[in-house]
Structure 1
């Protein structure tokens, strides 16, 4: 029975022992274990000898073939471009978020310092010449002289600059009777201004647009000295915060429901309430 062979590790730069020839008498003998040589052989290795060298995987240098070197460089540079793009996107998002935070802080600081409030409006008086409405004569124009009271007393440091191009209309039951222009002026803080403006309805002034039912209701309300009218104004304004800050020009919509006692001469106007709406500046309005 043959003995078990215990292999020994190969030494680098050493020549493995040659196997005995087939006709050797030791071929049928017992196989002797390999022994580590005690002395270093000075004879050169025979040609065609091969060795096994173990190199760590992380130290292996891989060189692409020449035909794929360009593609290899392109693929190798792709992760770097992606990292640059990610960094650029993150930087842009951070900058945008920082700008939003600074803008919110600025707006909050301005609001706390100036405490802006919306001015209030009311109709002081109406001088009406609307005989054509009662007579149903479209040749008689409707003329109204309106006095509107603008109150900016709630603001201590905020002024209102009323720009030109505003429009004021007076209507009854949804039918426009007269229209006019809002004058341009500046209203200082803690100021009350009464604006007088002439309104005209042209040749017919809505007389032809009134139905027979509406004309009958108008005559009954005029006899009872309680004619409901609606005064609407669209005024472009610019807000002044102190002496330096100014906002952009926005449209202010004001609507006042009034009741007059007559449609001819100086009429007494009873205000039922006015509303003011400004959508772009809802945060301070």
Structure 2
């Protein structure tokens, strides 16, 4: 007869256990990493696309719009290039036509440069025996010659005539406004006045020595705005600059010019 096997009863002790002392001595349960997974509803797919592909390849529904914009950009650039080419072409043509016109005018009218010179200079108010300031005056006679057959010169207001000694301004004045016809020689006089001019001792000695030798070098500069009429066409305002080195034998009203050298140039603008 076989023996019966009875199960051993197990007792579960539910009595609370009180632990005293340092809790750090107790074994710790290993911490499990917490991983959170996105909740994806059924039938949903997550696709990751690199950013460079997002910018480089537009969606199919926008591909036509992108091609349209690209064509418009190319068309604008081509239009700008054409405009620049046309502009430079027109400017080159204008310069070419102006050159031809100037050449024709030169051959037809054969312009010659006007001529200027200082004829006489009368000087007053130079007192070199005193150390005080001086107030000199110059009566300057200017000779202006227009040798052209078909060109007229109109002298405008706003001119300036200045007398210098060693870069020190002594007196100044203006030219009269007048019209000079073709093949014309005009001689006119202008008065230059200065006031309160102080000369250094060295300048005073130089002028005194030059007056004794009969050679006092001075400068007379002329700035004259003019308009030139060629045929029926009158130009814009042009500035004529005349610089003259004048040597006189004395500083008196009876002074005579020993030598003169006048140079001039024209400023078109």
Q: TM-score, normalised by structure 1?
A: 0.69
Matching residue within 110, 125, 149 for 1:156: 149
Instruction: State whether residues 215 and 258 of structure 2, in contact with CA within 8 Å, keep that contact through their aligned partners in structure 1.
Output: no
The number of residues matched between the two structures is: 211
In the TM superposition, what are the counterparts of 1:234-245 in structure 2 within 5 Å?
234-242=223-231, 244-245=232-233
Instruction: State whether residues 146 and 196 of structure 1, in contact with CA within 8 Å, keep that contact through their aligned partners in structure 2.
Output: yes
* Structure 2: runs of 5 or more not aligned: 1-58
What is the aligned partner in structure 1 of residue 84 from structure 2?
A: 89
Change (3 A) 1:125 1:91: same
What is the aligned partner in structure 2 of residue 122 from structure 1?
A: 117
Matching residue within 220, 226, 244 for 2:209: 220
Instruction: State whether residues 118 and 244 of structure 2, in contact with CA within 8 Å, keep that contact through their aligned partners in structure 1.
Output: yes
Give, in whole Å, the separation in 1 of the partners of 2:149 and 2:202: 49
Is 1:110 the equivalent of 2:90?
no
Give, in whole Å, the separation in 2 of the partners of 1:271 and 1:156: 30
Give, in whole Å, the separation in 2 of the partners of 1:254 and 1:277: 7
Change (3 A) 1:200 1:134: farther
Q: CA-to-partner distance for each residue in 1:141-182, whole Å, 9 max, x for gaps? A: 2111111111112x1211211111111011112211111111
What is the aligned partner in structure 1 of residue 241 from structure 2?
A: 253
Is 1:178 the equivalent of 2:171?
yes
Matching residue within 142, 160, 180 for 2:136: 142
Give, in whole Å, the separation in 1 of the partners of 2:206 and 2:85: 68
Instruction: State whether residues 152 and 181 of structure 2, in contact with CA within 8 Å, keep that contact through their aligned partners in structure 1.
Output: yes
Give, in whole Å, the separation in 1 of the partners of 2:132 and 2:187: 33
Give, in whole Å, the separation in 2 of the partners of 1:279 and 1:129: 33
What's the secondary structure of 1:265's corresponding residue?
Answer: coil
What's the secondary structure of 1:231's corresponding residue?
Answer: strand
Q: TM-score, normalised by structure 2?
A: 0.73
What is the aligned partner in structure 2 of residue 272 from structure 1?
A: 260
Q: 1:129: how far off?
A: 0.6
Q: 1:273: how far off?
A: 1.1
Q: 1:134: how far off?
A: 4.7
Change (3 A) 1:80 1:184: same
Matching residue within 62, 73, 77 for 1:78: 73
What's the secondary structure of 2:222's corresponding residue?
Answer: strand
Instruction: State whether residues 175 and 224 of structure 2, in contact with CA within 8 Å, keep that contact through their aligned partners in structure 1.
Output: yes
Give, in whole Å, the separation in 2 of the partners of 1:225 and 1:174: 20
What is the aligned partner in structure 1 of residue 161 from structure 2?
A: 168
Q: CA-to-partner distance for each residue in 1:242-264, whole Å, 9 max, x for gaps? A: 2x112111221111111112212
**Higher alpha-carbon deviation: 124-133 or 160-169:** 124-133
